Amino acid sequence: MSANQSPAGQQQTGTHDSAFLRACRREPVPHTPVWFMRQAGRSLPEYRKVREGIPMLDSCMRPELVTEITLQPVRRHNVDAAIYYSDIVVPLKAIGIDLDIKPGVGPVIADPIRSRADLAQLRDLTPEDVWYVTEAIGLLTAELGPTPLIGFAGAPFTLASYLVEGGPSRNHEHTKALMYGDPQLWADLLDRLAEITSAFLKVQIEAGASAVQLFDSWVGALAPADYRRSVMPASAKVFRAVESYGVPRIHFGVGTGELLGLMGEAGADVVGVDWRVPLDEAARRVGPGKALQGNFDPAILFSTPEAIEVKAREVLDAAAGLEGHVFNLGHGVPPTTDPDALTRLVEYVHTQTAR
Ligand code: CP3
């Protein structure tokens, strides 16, 4: 299949004209589309039930289970897009990296990557390595009808931070030590990860994902000059690798107020914004020609229904002049969120913005 032909899932009647894809393309929308990072997951009792006794990474490799978990929040909340249920470390596991996801901790890597010899652990990813992704996306696009499916991957920096630290990290000391201490090894590591990430996103688009999001969750730890020099080339390579498919590319990170312009420049069509920068100011930083996604503070989901509406209204007001706006949280749904608060928030945004 040539890259400018529509992959299977793209041909679903109505998907192309969905509010979500229209907003990503900065076209007029019937209402502001809403989805939530981590909408599938621990906040939902039906998720906790189907996951019982099944380790996190195992759950990502069972196509029927992935399909069910991905659909759960779509059924419950009436969101405008589904996000493929997986984790950013799944492609690393698939190429044989010895890692596990420890409950309450996150990804833990058995042999951290800190030397040139360690790079050999990172072989190319083939579609066969992630056959369950292709199968699950086939099942999903059939079930979702016109609702778009978002594929995703971890960005090279955020993946590198887990691989180099060996697990979650607050200050990314080992990662920065490598980045500054051996710039060539760092560049080669990020380039390897860009290749793997590109291959993984291509698998998802070819199987029918209608948009992709690159999660650079922890890149807000960097100053702009370091981002430009040491990270942007690899992220830009990923965006270029999937450009010809014509599906919207979303670029997200946390604490990235000072990086928003560069994250757009890396090749995104939609830039994700957390709650620290209002969307009108974010639009000035990103510049014209891109849609924005965000930026409701997830902590406010624990407040009263009235306070949630006031805050949602603020987000919508700040978004009023944007070329395109996808309503989302500034980061993922916290595991202890009351799911009804999410359902009500979707309903509120839809009714407030109905045109
Ligand atoms: O509710 C859930 O979180 C369900 C299951 C789960 C996922 N990952 C799914 C996931 C669990 C327990 C994990 C482990 C994990 N992996 C954690 C959490 C540790 C914990 O127990 O609190 C973390 C931080 C990771 C690493 C990771 N995975 C990052 C940094 C990201 C990018 C998004 C972000 O939160 O910054 C992911 C992606 C991820 N893991 C998604 C899902 C469903 C992303 C897609 C989505 O937004 O739904």
The count of residues in the chain is 355
What phi and psi, each to the nearest 5 degrees, are found at residue 154? Answer: -75, 145
51 is catalytic: yes
> What angle (nearest 5°) sits at the alpha carbon of residue 59, between those of residues 57 and 64?
145
Please tell me the residue having the least CA distance from ligand 1 atom 27. 88
How remote is the CA of residue 200 from the centroid of ligand 1, in Å? 17
CA dist 141 and 138 (Å) reads: 6
pLDDT exceeds 70 at position 37? yes
Q: Which domain holds residue 81?
A: 19-353
Does any domain span residue 52?
Answer: yes
Which of 60, 87, 214, 342 should be mutated for ligand 1, with most atoms under 8 A from CB? Answer: 87
Catalytic residue among 25, 62, 76, 87: 87
Does any domain span residue 4?
Answer: no
How remote is the CA of residue 87 from the centroid of ligand 1, in Å? 6
- For residue 294, give the DSSP letter: E
Q: Is 223 exposed, middle or buried (0-12, 13-18, 19+ CB in 10 A)?
A: exposed
Does any domain span residue 296?
Answer: yes
170 is catalytic: no
> Which of 9-18, 67-76, 125-134, 149-158 is predicted least confidently?
9-18
Does any domain span residue 8?
Answer: no
Inter-residue contact 41 to 335 (CB < 8 Å):
yes
Placement of tokens 């009804």 in the chain: 340
Ligand 1 atom, smallest distance to 168 CA: 24
Does any domain span residue 159?
Answer: yes
Inter-residue contact 242 to 199 (CB < 8 Å):
no
38 is catalytic: yes
pLDDT exceeds 60 at position 1? no
Q: 122: which 2 tokens?
A: 């990172």
Average pLDDT value for residue range 310-323: 98
Does any domain span residue 69?
Answer: yes
Q: Is 329 exposed, middle or buried (0-12, 13-18, 19+ CB in 10 A)?
A: buried
Arithmetic mean of pLDDT over the chain: 96
Average pLDDT value for residue range 36-50: 98
- At 21 the pLDDT is 98
Share of the chain above pLDDT 70, in %: 96
CA dist 63 and 60 (Å) reads: 8
Inter-residue contact 342 to 36 (CB < 8 Å):
yes
Q: 124: which 2 tokens?
A: 């190319």
Ligand 1 atom, smallest distance to 43 CA: 1
Please tell me the pTM assigned to this model: 0.96
Task: Count CB-CB contacts under 10 A for residue 249.
Answer: 22
Please tell me the residue having the least CA distance from ligand 1 atom 2. 41
Inter-residue contact 251 to 264 (CB < 8 Å):
yes
Does any domain span residue 12?
Answer: no
Average pLDDT value for residue range 321-329: 98
Does any domain span residue 125?
Answer: yes
- For residue 302, give the DSSP letter: G
75 is catalytic: no
Per the structure, the count of domains in the chain is: 1
162 is catalytic: yes
Ligand 1 atom, smallest distance to 104 CA: 21
Please tell me the residue having the least CA distance from ligand 1 atom 17. 106
Average pLDDT value for residue range 272-292: 98
Which residues line the pocket of ligand 1, CB cutoff 6 A?
37-38, 40-42, 56, 83, 85, 87-88, 101, 103-104, 106-107, 152, 158, 215, 217, 332, 335
pLDDT single digits (tens) 133-187? 999 999 999 999 999 999 999 999 999 999 999 999 999 999 999 999 999 999 9
Ligand 1 atom, smallest distance to 254 CA: 36
- At 173 the pLDDT is 97
Return all residues near 90 (Cβ < 8 A) that are at least 6 apart.
57, 60, 61, 130, 133
Return all residues near 180 (Cβ < 8 A) that are at least 6 apart.
none
Ligand 1 atom, smallest distance to 333 CA: 1
DSSP string, 250-281: EEE-SS-GGGHHHHHHTT-SEEE--TTS-HHH
Catalytic residue among 42, 76, 229, 240: 42
pLDDT single digits (tens) 75-114? 999 999 999 999 999 999 999 999 999 999 999 999 999 9
> What angle (nearest 5°) sits at the alpha carbon of residue 293, between those of residues 92 and 139?
50
Dihedral sign, Cα of residue 156, residue 157, residue 162, residue 166:
positive
- At 3 the pLDDT is 40
> Which of 5-19, 185-199, 216-230, 297-311 is predicted least confidently?
5-19
Inter-residue contact 267 to 236 (CB < 8 Å):
yes
β-pair type (99-102, 106-109): antiparallel
For the domain that residue 94 is a member of, what is the CATH number? 3.20.20.210
- At 13 the pLDDT is 65
Average pLDDT value for residue range 295-309: 98
Q: Is 296 helix (H, G, I), strand (E, B) or coil?
A: strand
